[in-house]
Amino acid sequence: MDIIKLSAIDMKEKLKNKEISSRDIVEAHIKRIDEVDEEVNAFITLTKEEALNTADEIDKKIKVGENLGLLAGIPIGIKDNIITYGTKTTCGSKMLENFIPPYESTVVERIKKEDGIILGKTNMDEFAMGSLMETSYFGSTKNPIDLERSPGGSSGGSAAAVKAEEVALSLGSDTGGSIRQPASYCGVVGIKPTYGLISRYGLVSVANSLDQIGISGRNVSDAALMLDAIAGHDIKDSTSMDMENINYLEGLNEDIKGMKIALPKEYFNIDMDNGIKDKVMEAVKVFETLGAEVEEVSLPNTNYALATYYVIATAEISSNLSRFDGVRYGYRAEGYETLDELYMKTRSEAFGKEVKSRIMAGTYFLSSEHAEEYYEKALRLRTLIKDDFDKAFEKYDIILSPTTPNLPFKLGEINNPFIMETSDIFTIPVNLAGICAMSIPCGYIEGLPVGMQIIGDRFKELDILRAGYAFEKHLSIGGER
């Protein structure tokens, strides 16, 4: 049996049935990491020893017949912008190169409570800014499918680690597509839950009205299991919603007869790489075969989403990143004479180019002369974009689209960062509206994966998971083994 090839759920089952030990699982994954990660570079920090100790504790629990948590024995990667108590959390930046958090994020606390095993912190674009894994201070992550290509970003390390079988599940964050686009590029499942479903306590804020923690996994069931473990209200995050708990894994069901599916015509009119549209339309046919009803819908403000996002995201970035000033934690420059010089030198030396330009753009949009014409205008457009979705969900259960209009780029291929943003054109509106979405593999073009995006209404994760599960059962590509 090749342990690393098992689904997360199978690993847990075999552990419970005493076919394998927790230590076996961790050792198999450490061996895999030792073999591939020098090249893939999915991790910034590894926590091998801690993982082995946790494994031994779980094996002890099994021996004495103690109850096991939801994630028992499952090896997990955590994006390096999610705080881990006592383990370096860098955000992929020189600014936090040596930052060791003195507290725990809520999601990590919940994973540990459910006996999940954290194997390390995954690589990311600096402060989650970038879509190619080219802005990390710790080097690029490579796409395990083709090492010359980008795994997508910013949660590129999390998606690549899952694809390369270095971990079974991982957490990432998604501000404008940062989980879904890498999931598409790496041929894995990636969920961006509804804003407010998962506590952001301990997620380093970038654009806090858009940020959401989410999941990468090799199939829908595994991702649903992780969602069960981490979703729910948290007293430490006032934006997390207090609502009845849903059991996502139990709610999965192959029957989607009568499910109402919308195809947004504006999305399909956008320029795409050859073949992507065809692959998604083939997937749409599968849904029809399964008994779903498919119609075209209009989301008329789609074309303004990118500009709206750019203004709002950079504005929030410029505010959130003002906390990095070299005073309380993080990098501090040397050779300054005034306090202002300390701030300026520290920030100039420790932030990368992409981060600086977004901070400056946001500062411009928020400045007293321009706030009304840009920032406030964008907030009003955001309302229109959100209303488009609200209207569509009055009639439909889910919306289908490609996840990105491109196949994975080669690393170093793109030199105009703004062009790159357009690869997020299908994912950005979801964050603006605060709704949920998932990327799921729907085929390959010349060996490169194509992702399909399934969008659902606020807190209707079960709808998108059920649709994804039914599709995956039917097609079995890349996902369910």
Of residues 298, 327, 410, 412, which one binds other proteins by CB under 8 A? 327
User: Nearest approach, Cβ of 276 to other proteins (angstroms)?
Assistant: 23
The residue within the footprint of other proteins, chosen from 79, 347, 460, 466 (CB under 8 A), is 347
Contact region with other proteins (CB under 8 A), list: 58-66, 220-228, 360-368, 406-414: 360-368
Among 247, 269, 383, 476, binds other proteins (CB under 8 A): 383
Question: Which of 23, 48, 61, 233 is in the footprint of other proteins by CB under 8 A?
Answer: 233
Residue 374 as a binder of other proteins (CB under 8 A): the answer is: yes
Examine the residue annotation and report whether 21 is marked as an active-site residue of this protein. no
192 catalytic, yes or no? no
248 is a contact residue toward other proteins (CB under 8 A):
no
Site for other proteins contains 147 (CB under 8 A): no
Q: Which of residues 80-139 bind other proteins (CB under 8 A)?
A: 98-100, 102-103
Q: Which listed residue (49, 380, 446, 447) binds other proteins by CB under 8 A?
A: 380
- Nearer Cβ to other proteins (141/346): 346
Q: How far is the CB of 155 from other proteins (least distance, A)?
A: 21
Least separation in angstroms between residue 342's CB and other proteins is 7
Q: What is the 3-state secondary structure (H, E, C) of the chain?
A: CCHHHCCHHHHHHHHHCCCCCHHHHHHHHHHHHHHHHHHHCCEEEECHHHHHHHHHHHHHHHHHCCCCCCCCCCEEEEECCECECCECCCCCCHHHCCCCCCCCCHHHHHHHHCCCEEEEEECCCHHHCCCCCCCCCCCCCCECCECCECCCCCCHHHHHHHHCCCCCEEEEECCCCCCHHHHHHHCCEEEECCCCCECCCCECCCCCCCCCEEEEECCHHHHHHHHHHHECCCCCCCCCCCCCCCCHHHHCCCCCCCCEEEEEHHHHCCCCCCCHHHHHHHHHHHHHHCCCEEEEECCCCHHHHHHHHHHHHHHHHHHHHHHCCCCCCCCCCCCCCCHHHHHHHHHHHHCCHHHHHHHHHHHHHHCCCCHHHHHHHHHHHHHHHHHHHHHHHHHCCEEEEECCCCCCCECCCCCCHHHHHHHHCCCHHHHHHCCEEEEEEEEEECCEEEEEEEEECCCCHHHHHHHHHHHHHHHCCCCCC
Q: What residues numbered 249-308 form the site for other proteins, per CB under 8 A? A: 301, 304, 306-308
Q: Which stretch binds other proteins (CB under 8 A): 64-72, 108-116, 184-192, 356-364?
A: 356-364
- Establish whether 79 is a catalytic residue: yes
Select the residue interacting with other proteins from 69, 73, 264, 330 (CB under 8 A).
Answer: 330
C-beta of 18 vs 353, nearer to other proteins: 353
- Site for other proteins, rule CB under 8 A: 98-100, 102-103, 195-196, 209, 233, 235, 238-239, 241-242, 301, 304, 306-308, 310-311, 318, 322, 325-332, 336, 338-340, 342-345, 347-348, 351, 356-357, 359-361, 363-364, 367, 373-374, 376-384, 386, 417-418, 433-434, 458
Catalytic residues: 79, 154, 178
